[in-house]
Structure 1
Amino acid sequence: MKTWPDNRIQTLFGIELPIILAPMAGPVLSDMVIAVAEAGGLGSLPCALLNAEQIRSELNLIRQRTARPINLNFFCHKPPKIDANRENEWRKRLAPYYLELGVDPKAPIPMSNRTPFDAAMCDLVEEFKPEVVSFHFGLPHRKLLDRVAATGAKIISSATSVEEAIWLEQEGCDAIIAQGAEAGGHQATFLRDDISRQIGTMALVPQVVDAVNVPVIAAGGIGDARGIVAAFALGASAVQLGTAYLFCPEAKLPPIHREALRKAKSDDTVLTNVFTGRPARGIVNRLIREVGPMSDVAPEFPLAGGALAPLRFKSEPTGSGDFMSLWSGQAAALGRELPAGELTKLLAEETLAKLAAC
């Protein structure tokens, strides 16, 4: 087989391969976006941890080196409300670690923040006109969404339930990412907070496909060609991979995180809120074992990370990942250490070969 069983995403986005680089804030910057785009997939630039000037700088680099379609990804969470009592409880819970590492528990802590999509970010979308704009945690306000749509960008967002997928389609999304519980990093849940009810990719994708008319992108636990074939069998039109790309040399990862991924076993990850205040899947470390995985006193997203910053600053130089968010999906054991462009092409070749053998 030389063609894909469903080419709606390729047609919609103007790409050659139905493979999307997950927009992983921190590890992914312009070089990986370019590599995946040039290989024929959709390169995604995560903007949640970047300010407007940093985004502009990355986009200038991307546009200088590729004319292929790209995706800009933004968070659209509600700004957190400061809860002094909860902040104090969180600091009390972490105080023993401060003392252990010789850090003053009463010292001021840095603010942990992620900027939700706003007018300034929308200005950049209008200026650079990316082919795709994706959102996490729902969608932004209608006025901003209309401005994005007016640029001609295709709009996509992630759903962790059929109800979320239907809502996204009704709000005008051109395609929907069905994110299963296996996915690494932050879960995209936005209509409810109970992560115990989140379902896996194999169960979620076909139900979303049946419920909406737009193309569906499968995400979560897909690490090789077998997973991509399965996603197409379930009715998906494309796949989004994150953890698989963390093994690429382009991934901006601390050595501790990279080594944890290399050693990760199938059951080494959990959903935890102790790093940011919102459920995200990562490899179990000391903080998760002793404080989490889910803590009732962790401040609202993304404030929980502020009090952890001094602990990371003291422990990481010693080679410790005790207080680091080691984001990973459940398929880390399938990872291959290849350049991002080479990995993209190989995944496509292996998938087409398996489809031809079916």
Structure 2
Amino acid sequence: MAKREVNMLTNLLTKLLKIDYPIIQAPMAGGITTSKLVAAVSNNGALGMIGAGYLSPTQLQEQIREVKELTSKCFGVNLFVPNDFQVMEDEIDKASKLLHKFQAQLNIENEQSVIPNKDDAFEEYNEQIKVIMEEKVPICSFTFGVPSIEIISQLKQHGIILIGTATSVVEAKAIEKLGMDAVVVQGSEAGGHRGNFISNHEESLVGLMSLIPQVSDHVSIPVIAAGGIMDGRGLLASLSLGAKAVQMGTAFLTCEESGAHPVHKEAILQAKDEDTIFTRAFSGKWARGIQNKFTTEMQKLEADILPFPVQNTFTQSIRKASSSQNNKDFMSLWSGQSPTLAKNETVEMLIQRIIKHAEKG
């Protein structure tokens, strides 16, 4: 009986990704997706993903090689697609002054933030693409936008499976039209940054259980469900609505192998269901996380928050100092909407628990 049930969890997507179970570990950037975490996920029958959004090409290459030493199974890399941004000098001065009071509370002195360079961002992104091809990474996913036709063509020529991220039907259709192989549909319940790139923030806040069947009815590529899924119930619900797999972030974030700060993990483990909010305070891009002192105070200053990635650069010292001081008041505590279902356990325990739950129905 159990064997037949597990077979119900296999489909064309699990075969394409060469995984035993329709579970993908969300590629959380910023050090959470350690080589140990990615390898553990892949070694236990799911798909491990490196969150490379903030990695330099050299750092990415090093981590890919580390993961290869820890697993012979399939794994992937996720990249942020660079976006154009404009910011005025007076806006920068005003935003910098607003952040001074937070820096003072953390004893940060003489902080001078360098404004990100758009050309540098695109150059680094192109170098990351080269690393992925050189290292023969089998799977590459994208967030904050879609790659160019030229990049898609290059990656396809190297036999790399491509996955886009969408928050609406129109975005999912755009991803399919570009020839990508699968689409992650990100419901409003998802933790961390929103992946919208056509729809604006308000339009992109469709709940996952509404989004899955609508996208499934409009695209023929496999749909991967993301947003608030923590156990076998979420997996089965997603599959029954038309998804071929789930992508889980918060559930893996609190695992032992995760590189998330202990304060971050504890904040999720202690959180209540109503504790998460959307904020632009840390990065300039809407993201879901646990409310704290910084997000509360920055809510009053919403109009003065700089666009991504400028705001992200300007708050870097605050986040870093807060982490080193074990101070949750100024950390970006990203979390999905189901924190009460999070557990402190190993990757193996989490995956086995999900599968056993799904087998029982």
Higher relative contact order (CA 8 A, sep 6+): 1
Offset from partner CA, 1:81-113 (integer Å, 9 cap, x none): 343222122123223334444545x74135578
Could you tell me which residue of structure 1 aligns to residue 297 of structure 2? Answer: 290
**Residues in 2 aligned to 1:52 and 1:317: alpha-carbon distance in whole angstroms:** 26
Cα deviation 1:267-289 (Å, max 9, x = unaligned): 11111111001011110001111
Instruction: Decide whether aligned partners of structure 1 residues 333 and 325 sit closer, same or farther in structure 2, where only a CA change above 3 A counts.
Output: same
SS in 1 for 2:163: strand
Partner of residue 31, structure 1: 36
> Aligned partners of 1:346, 1:3: CA distance in 2, in Å?
17
Which residue in 1 is equivalent to 2:216?
209
| Alignment RMSD (CA, Å) | 2.1
- SS for the counterpart of 1:177 is strand
Q: Does 1:7 align with 2:14?
A: no
| Paired amino acid for 1:328 | S
1:150 aligns with 2:154: no
The one of 42, 56, 62 equivalent to 1:57 is: 62
Report what 2:242 is aligned to: 235
Corresponding residue number in structure 2 for 1:141: 148
- Please state if 1:76 is matched with 2:81: yes
CA displacement, residues 178-201 of structure 1 (integer Å, 9 cap, x when unaligned): 110100011100003233552110
2:286 equivalent among 279, 286, 295: 279
In the TM superposition, residue 324 of structure 1 has moved relative to its aligned partner by 1.0
Q: 2:130 aligns with which of 120, 123, 126?
A: 123
2:184 paired residue number: 177
Cα displacement (A) at 1:174: 0.7
Change (3 A) 1:46 1:93: same
Cα distance, 1:345 vs structure 2: 2.7
Residue 201 of structure 2 corresponds to residue 194 of structure 1 = yes
Q: Which residue does the alignment assign to 1:345?
A: 352
Structure 1 position 328, deviation (Å): 0.5
The residue aligned with 2:97 is 92
Q: Which amino acid aligns with 1:180?
A: G
Aligned length: 353
Q: Deviations over 1:215-260 (max 9, x none)?
A: 1000001011111111011111100000000111111122221211
7, 15, 21: which one aligns with 1:17:
21
Between the aligned partners of 2:293 and 2:312, the Cα distance in structure 1 is: 15
Deviation at 1:322, TM superposition (A): 1.6
Counterparts in 2 of 1:38 and 1:310: CA distance versus 1, 3 Å: closer
Shift of 1:318: 4.1
1:293-336: CA deviations, max 9, x gaps? 88222111111133323434554444321211001001111012
How far residue 211 of structure 1 moved from its aligned partner, in angstroms, is: 0.5
1:42-93 deviation line (CA, Å, top 9, x unaligned): 1101111111111111111111222211111101031433432221221232
Q: Structure 1 residue 207: deviation in Å?
A: 0.3
Query: Which range moves more in the overlay, 107-116 or 65-74?
Result: 107-116
Q: Once the 2 structures are TM-superposed, how far is the Cα of residue 346 of structure 1 from its aligned partner?
A: 2.4
The range that moved more, 253-262 or 154-163, is 253-262
TM-score, structure 2 as length reference? 0.92
Q: Distance in 2 between matches of 1:115 and 1:342?
A: 38
TM-score, length-scaled by structure 1: 0.92
CA distance in 1, matches of 2:136, 2:202: 35
- Aligned equivalent of 1:67: 72
Aligned counterparts of 1:282 and 1:28: Cα–Cα separation in 2 = 17
Looking at structure 1, the residues matched to 94 and 184 of structure 2 have their Cα atoms a distance apart, in angstroms, of 36
Task: Give the share of equivalent positions with the same residue, in percent.
Answer: 33
Flag structure 2 segments of 5+ consecutive residues without an equivalent: none
* 1:116-163 Cα distance to aligned partner (Å, 9 max, x none): 573211211211222211000121222112111111111111110000
Quote the offset at 1:203 in angstroms.
0.5
Contact 1:195 1:279 in 2 (8 A): no
Please tell me whether the aligned partners of residues 271 and 293 of structure 1 are also in contact (alpha carbons under 8 angstroms): no
The one-letter amino acid of 2:27's match is P
Letter in 1 for 2:243: A
Residue in 1 that maps onto 2:226: 219
Segments of structure 1 that go 5 or more residues without pairing to the other structure are none
